[in-house]
Structure 1
Amino acid sequence: MKNLFFILSSIVLGLFFTGCSGIKYLTIETLEPAQVTLPGNVRTILVANNVVQQPNDIGHTNQLLGRSGAQRINVSSDSISVFYTEALSQFLNEEAFFDAVLYRQEPLRSDHDFFTEQPISPDKMNELRTEHHVDAIISLDKLLIETHKNEHFRQQGYSWAAMKANIQSIVRVYLPSMTGQIPAVHFTDSLNWQGFERQNGYLYAEEILPSHEEAMKEAAVYAAEKMTSVFSPHWVMQDRWFYTLPNALMREGETFAQNKDWVNAVSKWEAFYEKETNELKKAKAASNIALAYEMLDDMQLASEWIGKSEQLFLKATRPDSLDRKRVQIYKREIDRRRDNSNQLNMQVN
């Protein structure tokens, strides 16, 4: 009976300690550098619309149920470039990187040659800079959005279909000090939807397919949001994790981490790391320490500790270990952020 009690007690304790070790996840915000580094004296920006409205008969099709081929249709592109440029100016303002982001409502072009780009001339650039008192101009110089609908089936008289919007744009930055080629950012992407179509204003279900016009507007705003990260440092949501172990020091570090007290979390996890001899446990503690230093914005120490963690995981785990794969993913992210830190410091300081 005593042996049975001992065995049952061992099983319960084993389950308890297993349950106390694992991984806890958290979501953080990281500041990422702009993809284009503008001169430090560029503090005010004018966003301008320098495209010709897309003709209604360019780029749109319907693939109707039972038909062998897609049918070209007319779709109004009215104000799509306005949605793009106005959204871009709003998003840049919200990032609060520039001192001021102005928006010019009137389009710069009055011709009808949609397929020909006409970059802003130096004289026009200087005129706009003087008129709006800005340091540089971000101009939408090309915009093409195609929309394609494909019907799949009908139910209760309502059509279930898929919609795809392909968007291409070119945005240029005009600076008075630039000589030669003007920096141009090419953007190509697509958005997809599925759902039931509206019929005479009525809805059949919650999953509603946008019209071609609505799809164009959403694609324009989406592209503008992507362009924001090109010109301004921006915050990005990312997932992180830390390991938990049935040890007093590790638990204290976990408590500090949950309260965002990363200095004390480092202290507890480093104390555990120095005392521990098990390589797998040391690897997990080192990964936690790397996270803490990342949260303290010390990317050099974060890189050093995630390197220690990786080496220990390589010794203590099998090649197909999830922990090994996880630490390699995190190491690449830490190295990426460390390499970007100089660029980010140039932009925000």
Structure 2
Amino acid sequence: MKFPNSEIVKCLLFVLILMAFGSCTKNVSITRLMPAEINVPNKIQRLLIVDRTKPESQGVAIIEGILTGEMPFEVKNAIDCTVASIHQELNTSPRYEIIRANERLIGGLFSQTFPAPLNREIVRNLCMRYETDAVLTLEKFSSDFVITDKKITIKKKIGKDENAKTIEVPGIMVEGVASVQVGFRLYDPESGNILDQHDMGKTNAWSAEAETRAQAMVLLIEKAQATRFVGQMAGATYARRIAPMYIDINRTFYSKSKKYPALEKGGRYAEVDEWENAISNWEEGLSLPGDDKTYGKLCYNISLGHEVLGDLYLAKDWAARAYTQYGFKPGRTYAKELEQRMMEDEILEQQLSNSAAQ
């Protein structure tokens, strides 16, 4: 497709503007704890994980598996991956000490609904045996793997060495979509109450291309592997529901300026993680001649420096100053983000305070 010369010039200018803007900023990653989605009582410090998906009858489970296309041993492997995933994820959080039960309890394999809740006596006995404060159970698990295909055009290399060339030939793309539906419950042994009951699904898709469907199927992920993968996704997702988890936040600061050396010098300090020196240089730049846009960038950078150093209150003040004093709009957005983070940190502090501190 041909473009008029004017259109080509516009595209080139747009690319150059993006490149220029990108070269004036740098990224920094901040690791922080995000609060859990729900508040779990602080008295719960040691948590027992139990697989409650054992079928009441192995024979019935095999028949159900044949009818649904799910082999019990494949599903059991996926369940193990789900439980292992939530165990691993919860271990990365400072919230709990995690213990995994040895036994597997009868529950909801292939079930679309939750089984009857565990009674209080069973929950209390489990907690006494493993010396834990609560029981987290995986109580239902079902999976599916659907394969579809469609005709496409693929590229194929023919010939060797200097005679090699690429041609287009008819082909097939197959897509496999794996899904799981899982259900978790969190039990309190003292009251016998269910503190949380959560039903959730996870889905992921894979594809492969080849000249024939048979060739594409060889390249496609195996059903058992796909089911294990989405099971792990489900376990990791539920862990974030009940425990604070570490995440990485990507921030941007302004680091290039030919007219204002203080902005660039501070940026160099920030690049080598010397944030106190970076802040000092940016603050110095505010006392030198400049324009509102540059002062806004300096305030924004100072705000980021204080966030990296852990002082969110100062960070918010400087972000707000970037906007209120100098009209730098990114400062307004950043100030709102910091205010949200401060509220989340208050929730986090409550979630991490143990019962002895209350």
TM-score, reference length from structure 1: 0.75
Equivalent of 1:36 in 25, 38, 43: 38
**Contact 2:296/2:331, CA 8 A, preserved across alignment:** no
Q: Deviations over 1:228-273 (max 9, x none)?
A: 2222222112211101233232233212212222222222212222
> Which of 92, 104, 108 is the aligned partner of 1:107?
104
Task: Give the whole-Å Cα distance in 1 for the aligned partners of 2:235 and 2:108.
Answer: 24
Where do 1:110-121 residues align within 5 Å?
Answer: 114-117=111-114, 118-121=116-119
Aligned mates of 1:230, 1:110 — CA distance in 2? 22
- Counterpart Cα distance in 2 of 1:287 and 1:341: 21
SS of the residue corresponding to residue 190 of structure 1 reads: strand
Check conservation: 2:49, 2:100, Cα contact below 8 A: yes
For the 8 Å contact 1:48–1:108, the answer to whether it is kept is yes
Residues 264-306 of structure 1, C-alpha deviations (whole Å, 9 max, x = no match): 2222212222445511111111111111111111112212222
Equivalent of 1:299 in 304, 309, 312: 312
Task: Confirm or deny: 8 A CA contact 2:28 2:250 kept in the other structure.
Answer: yes
State the match for 2:132 in structure 1. Answer: 134
Match of residue 75 from structure 1: 70
- Asked if 1:194 is matched to 2:207, the reply is yes
Report the residue type matching 1:337 in the other structure. Answer: R
Summarize the Cα distance change of 1:212–1:21 in structure 2 as closer, same or farther, 3 Å threshold: closer
Q: In structure 1, what is the Cα distance between the partners aligned to 2:22 and 2:140?
A: 57
Cα–Cα, structure 1 residues 219 and 113, in superposed 2: closer, same or farther, change >3 Å? closer
Q: Deviations over 1:146-186 (max 9, x none)?
A: 32211124889995311222333222211234575532233
Residue by residue over 1:24-46, the C-alpha shift from the partner in whole angstroms, topping out at 9 and shown as x without a partner, is: 12223222122233233322111
| CA distance 1:299–1:195, change in 2 (3 Å) | same
Using the alignment, how far apart are the partners of 1:225 and 1:112 within structure 2? Answer: 20
Moved more, 257-266 or 273-282: 273-282
Alpha-carbon displacement from aligned partner over 1:25-82 (angstroms, at most 9, x marks no partner): 222322212223323332211111123569678799xxxxxxxxxxx96132431222
Distance in 2 (CA, whole Å) between partners of 1:288 and 1:104 is 49
Aligned residues: 308
Q: Does 1:342 find its partner at 2:346? A: yes
1:1-349 equivalences under 5 Å are 22-52=24-54, 74-76=69-71, 77-79=74-76, 80-98=78-96, 100-109=97-106, 114-117=111-114, 118-153=116-151, 160-178=173-191, 182-196=195-209, 208-244=219-255, 245-246=257-258, 247-311=260-324, 315=327, 324=329, 326-327=330-331, 329-349=333-353
Relative distance call for 1:19 and 1:217 in structure 2 (3 A) is closer
For 1:224 and 1:236, locate their aligned partners in 2 and report how far apart those are by CA, in whole Å. Answer: 17
Q: Which amino acid aligns with 2:350?
A: M
Q: What residue identity is the alignment partner of 1:137?
A: V
Given the superposition, is the C-alpha separation of residues 56 and 195 from structure 1 closer, same or farther in structure 2, using an over 3 Å criterion?
Answer: farther
| Paired residue type of 2:148 | N
Query: Higher mean Cα deviation, 135-144 or 281-290?
Result: 135-144
> Partner of 1:42: helix, strand, or coil?
coil
Q: Distance in 2 between matches of 1:146 and 1:59?
A: 11
Conserved 8 A contact 1:253-1:266: yes
Deviation per residue, 1:112-138 (Å, 9 max, x gap) = 783442222211110100111111111
Gaps of 5+ in 1: 1-17, 61-71, 317-323
Is the contact made by 2:109 and 2:141 (CA closer than 8 Å) also made in structure 1? Answer: no
Give yes or no for contact 2:82–2:235 (8 Å, CA) kept in 1.
yes
Greater per-residue strand proportion: 2
- Shift of the alpha carbon at 1:340? 0.5
Would the aligned equivalents of 2:185 and 2:195 in 1 still touch at CA under 8 Å?
Answer: yes
Q: CA RMSD in A?
A: 3.5
Amino acid at match of 1:31: L
Alpha-carbon distance change, 88 to 58 in structure 1, aligned in 2, over 3 angstroms: same
TM (norm. structure 2) is 0.74
State how far apart, in whole Å, the 1-side matches of 2:244 and 2:42 are. 13
Name stretches of at least 5 consecutive residues in structure 2 with no aligned partner: 1-19, 155-168, 354-358
Shift of 1:226: 1.4
What percent identity do the matched residue pairs reach? Answer: 19
Contact kept? 2:53, 2:107, Cα under 8 Å: no
| CA apart distance, 1:310 | 3.2
Partner SS, residue 114 of structure 1: coil
Secondary structure of the residue that 2:53 maps to in structure 1?
A: coil
> 3-state SS of the aligned residue for 1:104?
strand
